[in-house]
Amino acid sequence: MFSMGKRRGVCWLGVAAAVTLAHISAVASEFYFDRDTFSFANQTVFEYHQGHASLRKGPTRRDAYKRHCFVMCRTVMQFKKFARFDPRGAPLDDASLAARIRAVIHRAAWADPLPEDQRIVFPGYKDLREMSKARRELVQLNIGHGWPSYFRISNARMIFQQNAGYQEKTHEHLNAALARGGLFIGFLTTYPRLSINHSVLVYKRKLFSPNPGDERYLVYDPNHPESPRELVWSPQTRSFSYQKDWDFIGGFVRIYQVYGKWMQ
């Protein structure tokens, strides 16, 4: 039989375990591509031919939604951490919805997730994808401007931190973020080339890789709202590679974490 002191110890352990599990549950809510991402696409500034960038020719839409890849990745993370949806409620009017969107994006993206009962509620929609489809223009107008991403202080890393050792540390940070149930936003570049200058959100490590030793990850790419894309880490070359498509020739990229902490 337990003594009274031992019983109290077991009780406190149980309380501590419950609190820990509740925190983990808040942090590690699973990310679903078809639920937790935007329905619309970011449009590229350049046009691409066989993955190579060049200036667009001919007239372009001045109101095209472009230069927002950083903004869209950041907002997806913020909605995952600080918002919840209530499909049973009535949709908000434009002014009220805009105010709630801004309340979400004004929270630090690197902060801990809020408990469910403290999150900002969006009634009338089941998830971010549905709301961004139904209220696309209003969402776009209120998640922030794209041009400040060109002037981020942390962008200077692409000039001074190009070695494989830095990429190994980035890979470690990526795995650590996913292991604790978080998300990882990366700045992809091939500087000084212009084949890619982009931001993506990494949300899951794949269990299977056709090449032993390689680690493969599922990625939300704002240019491709239709399906996840794939990022690969090769321990042999100590480098990342990104999936080929119309906007990237595929292969080697350097990655720098953004929105993981203040001033990053």
DSSP state of 150: G
Give the helix/strand (H/E) hosting 84: strand 83-86
State pTM to two decimals.
0.84
Mean pLDDT of the 119-147 span: 97
Give the contacts of 204 (CB within 8 A, at least 6 positions apart): 31, 178, 217, 218
63-80 per-position pLDDT tens digit = 589 999 999 999 999 999
Sequence-ordered list of residues with C-beta below 8 angstroms from that of 72, at least 6 positions apart, any chain = 38, 42, 143, 199, 222
Containing H/E element for 175? helix 164-179
Q: What is the pLDDT of residues 203-248, one digit of tens each?
A: 999 988 888 889 999 999 999 999 999 999 999 999 999 999 888 9
Q: Could you tell me if 251 and 244 are in contact, meaning their C-beta atoms sit under 8 angstroms apart?
A: yes
Q: Binning pLDDT at 50, 70 and 90, where does residue 93 land?
A: very high
Is 187 buried (19+), middle (13-18) or exposed (0-12) by CB count in 10 A?
Answer: buried
Angstrom CA distances, 175 to 171, 179, 184, 187, 264, stand at 6, 6, 9, 16, 18
